[in-house]
Amino acid sequence: MEKLSIIKIGGNIIEDEASLNAFLKLFSNLEGKKILVHGGGKRATHIASKLGIESKMVNGRRITDAETLEVITMVYGGLVNKNVVAKLQAMGTDAIGLTGADINSIQSDKRPVKEIDFGFVGDVKKVANNSIDKLIKADFTPVFCAITHDGKGQLLNTNADTITSTIAVGMSELYDTSIYYCFELNGVLQDFDDKDSVIKHIDSKTYQQLLKDEVISDGMIPKLDNCFDALHNGVQKVHIGNTSMLTKENELFTTITL
């Protein structure tokens, strides 16, 4: 099978113009078939606050009422996505920006209300791998933002890490698929105060121990859950690290296996 890399960039990279440009240069030069997924949670929180809208997060997920959905649609689907696409075009990569509604690429169900009502948040149901593959085969580079739809006209907010793992699972029917979660740190850290204390390898067993020892917290827990979901469902390899892990020179990052 041909190789496909799915690369996700976190909100802190997007916030820093120099880091974003450096990452996009690496991404642009990366050989082989590739898909980019971006978040932008920080930017959404910032712009919402300028509009007088308070952001509420529960378990790392944004409570998305109708007003917040308008903000995230403008920020993820517009501002961030189109800037990234324009920068990639300037670097010679024929990028196409997408939400999950475009070419019906990612359908989701509105999250059912249990203890918490997350509002317009979607849990991914179906990835149109063959439609996405048409773009890839035509030599376009898809750039996805953190928005899906329910197929009935409703846009839904969906965490970018989850979008990454579910696209990767869908595409693994067609390609030998690897995920690269790029963020501002060098990888999953043993000691949060020592930025070089990267845990080079995590498997299901060591993950349970890390949880028990409270070495990982916050956004890292759903990120790792997404990694294991992907590995259980056909994805070959998952990596977490800073953007330079996309180069052959950097060997300091975390690899996740089952």
Ligand X SMILES: Nc1ncnc2c1ncn2[C@@H]1O[C@H](COP(=O)(O)OP(=O)(O)O)[C@@H](O)[C@H]1O
Residue selected from 6, 7, 24, 72 as contacting ligand X2W according to rule CB under 6 A: 72
Structure tokens at 49: 């606050």
> Whose Cβ is closer to ligand X2W: residue 5's or residue 148's?
148
User: How far does Cα 254 stand from its chain's mean position?
Assistant: 16
CB of 219 to ligand X2W, least distance (A): 7
Angle between helices 220-232 and 160-171 (to 10 degrees): 10
| Site track for ligand X across 158-187, x = CB under 6 A | -------------------------x-x--
| 94 three-state secondary structure | coil
User: Which CB atom, from 162 or from 172, has the smaller least distance to ligand X?
Assistant: 162
Distance of alpha carbon 77 from alpha carbon 125, whole angstroms:
20
Pick one of 48, 147, 188, 235: the residue that binds ligand X (CB under 6 A). 188
Contact present, 28 and 92 (Cβ < 8 Å): yes
* H-run or E-run covering 28: helix 17-29
By beta-carbon distance, which residue lies closest to ligand X2W? Answer: 39
CB 220, min distance to ligand X, A: 4
Contact of residue 121 among ligand X, ligand X2W, none (CB under 5-8 Å per partner type) = ligand X2W
Tell me the pairing of strands 147-149 and 176-182. Answer: unpaired
The least distance separating ligand X from the CB of residue 127, rounded to whole angstroms, comes to 20
Q: Which residues contact 236 (CB under 8 A, 6 or more apart)?
A: 172, 176, 177, 178
- Binding of ligand X2W at residue 75 (CB under 6 A)? no
Please tell me whether residue 106 adopts helix, strand or coil conformation.
Answer: strand
Assigned token pair, 192: 């949060």
Pick the piece of the chain touching ligand X (CB under 6 A) from 44-52, 61-69, 126-134, 214-222.
Answer: 214-222
61 binds, among ligand X2W, ligand X, none (CB under 5 to 8 A by kind): ligand X2W
Interaction of residue 243 with ligand X2W, rule CB under 6 A: no
Q: How far is CA 29 from CA 133, 134, 151, 247, in A?
A: 20, 22, 35, 10
Judged by CB under 6 A, the stretch of 20-28, 131-139, 151-159, 239-247 that binds ligand X2W is 151-159
- Known binding residues for substrate are 40-41, 62, 157
The footprint of ligand X2W (CB under 6 A) covers: 10-11, 39-41, 44, 61-62, 72, 121, 146, 157-160
